[in-house]
Structure 1
């Protein structure tokens, strides 16, 4: 976490978003780049195209009893960005990675709510408005056979288990588990949406794999977590390949990571 004033949004940014004189304080998560100032949450935006598209979608997306999202906050000039920053309303709550069934239920409701939206152009490979591929985007393409598989025994094993997926793609939240906040008396709040275009089961499977690999959820619960989801096993294989490939590309795939992931690989591959 960055806890120095140098990393915080400037007072001019706060004023532009209507934040007054509240002193920004760093929040946990968000790669140490997210700040709260009063009723505002500020974070570096993801570029003009992605930020403006996502803010416009979430500004009017209907909420239900099963999920909600923070609303973006427009600047005084009417846009969604000020300098390198975007702003969102502060919504109380805390993530609980052990409540994986509740996370999946909220994620499924969110996916139903955005299922009617068209694929945004910025997700197309080669779009010059998008920054060069990052590790997560490249790993996603590897997991779906759109980029060459890395030379690693675990990934080769997972790749051998790939089968064609017939479920239709749509907009998906690709990092649900730590980004669903719970608070008493309110629907779960889904934050930090990294939009991807995959079958909806993909986002749910990534959350399930994360819960087993990193939060002590037993491996034998994987099947039950996907009850009623067509092609669930294939989504688990792709989700695991995505996470392993990401660790490779970030230079974090080591002996300890192999041991941590082996039981899940054995279960799905």
Structure 2
């Protein structure tokens, strides 16, 4: 990511620019700060304000740094404090505990203030919750796959929803002697159980965890519904991002299929 002196000065930073791996490989470190370009400034200001106000206990978050203009985003770039931690595959039970601590703290954030996003992930959530139709351009085979999964869930009249982090499996970092670090806040409005289901399903599909670890979630119909919706979300996003090349979608489907079979 190219950074101008103006951007660095707006956050009162100077020093070498070091590229950071992970995520979309767009983040860089300057001194003890991490800078990352953002597409939706309004959405980013909101989520960084949430991170600014949160008082984590039992976990850490990368606190945002205000620019000299009083904003968290300057010239399309957001800035947070650098925190140490490593991505660790698996460790599902520990990640679930962190998720529950985080969502306890997020439960006080007003959902009415949430600025809706418009991207493949927000579209995937809406498909998973039967608020949006499947994209018309998807091939029949993929539509049938998703329709089959959608046919296994039905909307209830009442759900307890709040702001949740919907992408935790690879965004909880561990460091010896420090509490786990939660990064890359990916908010949506949904039940906490949905966020937990995404976390566990992602660990199984993407990180090599045993499918039996789905049993770390309560065995009841509510969680079974959330597991199916979590899989619909991931597959819908994969289909949207495929843009005509659906090899990745079928790889994703094969990765999540053992979970579908396990809960049937």
Q: Give the conservation status (yes or no) of the 8 Å contact 2:201–2:256.
A: no
What corresponds to 2:33 in structure 1?
40
Aligned-partner SS, 1:141: helix
Describe the superposition over 1:206-261 as per-residue Cα deviations: whole angstroms up to 9, x where unpaired: 111111111111112212x2138882111100000000111111116434333323
What corresponds to 1:240 in structure 2?
231
Residues 103-114 of structure 1 mapped to structure 2, 5 A cutoff? 103-114=95-106
What corresponds to 1:119 in structure 2?
111
What corresponds to 2:153 in structure 1?
162
Residues 201-240 of structure 1 mapped to structure 2, 5 A cutoff? 201-223=193-215, 225-227=216-218, 231-240=222-231
Residues 57-72 of structure 1 mapped to structure 2, 5 A cutoff? 57-64=50-57, 66-72=58-64
Q: Give the conservation status (yes or no) of the 8 Å contact 2:171–2:182.
A: yes
What corresponds to 1:135 in structure 2?
120
67-76 vs 48-57, which moves further: 48-57
Structure 1 residues 205 and 38: alpha-carbon distance in aligned structure 2, compared to 1, 3 A threshold: same
Structure 1 residues 57 and 172: alpha-carbon distance in aligned structure 2, compared to 1, 3 A threshold: same
Describe the superposition over 1:192-218 as per-residue Cα deviations: whole angstroms up to 9, x where unpaired: 111100001111111111111111111
Q: Give the conservation status (yes or no) of the 8 Å contact 2:41–2:76.
A: no
CA distance in 2, matches of 1:214, 1:101: 16
Q: Does 1:51 align with 2:36?
A: no
Deviation at 1:173, TM superposition (A): 0.2
Q: Give the conservation status (yes or no) of the 8 Å contact 1:149–1:159.
A: no
Match of 2:191 among 199, 209, 212: 199
CA distance in 2, matches of 1:8, 1:102: 36
36-45 vs 228-237, which moves further: 228-237
Q: Does 1:78 align with 2:70?
A: yes
CA distance in 1, matches of 2:204, 2:211: 6
Please, which runs of 5 or more residues in structure 1 have no aligned partner? 1-6, 125-129
Deviation at 1:120, TM superposition (A): 4.1
TM-score (norm 2): 0.89
Aligned-partner SS, 1:187: strand
Q: Give the conservation status (yes or no) of the 8 Å contact 2:43–2:115.
A: no
Structure 1 residues 25 and 260: alpha-carbon distance in aligned structure 2, compared to 1, 3 A threshold: same
Match of 1:19 among 13, 20, 34: 13
CA RMSD of aligned residues (A): 2.0
Structure 1 residues 265 and 227: alpha-carbon distance in aligned structure 2, compared to 1, 3 A threshold: closer
CA distance in 2, matches of 1:243, 1:253: 14
Describe the superposition over 1:41-74 as per-residue Cα deviations: whole angstroms up to 9, x where unpaired: 000124332122222221121110x212111001
Describe the superposition over 1:23-51 as per-residue Cα deviations: whole angstroms up to 9, x where unpaired: 11111113111111110000012433212
Aligned-partner SS, 1:97: coil
Match of 1:258 among 249, 253, 256: 253
Q: Does 1:8 align with 2:2?
A: yes
Q: Give the conservation status (yes or no) of the 8 Å contact 1:103–1:177.
A: yes
TM-score (norm 1): 0.87
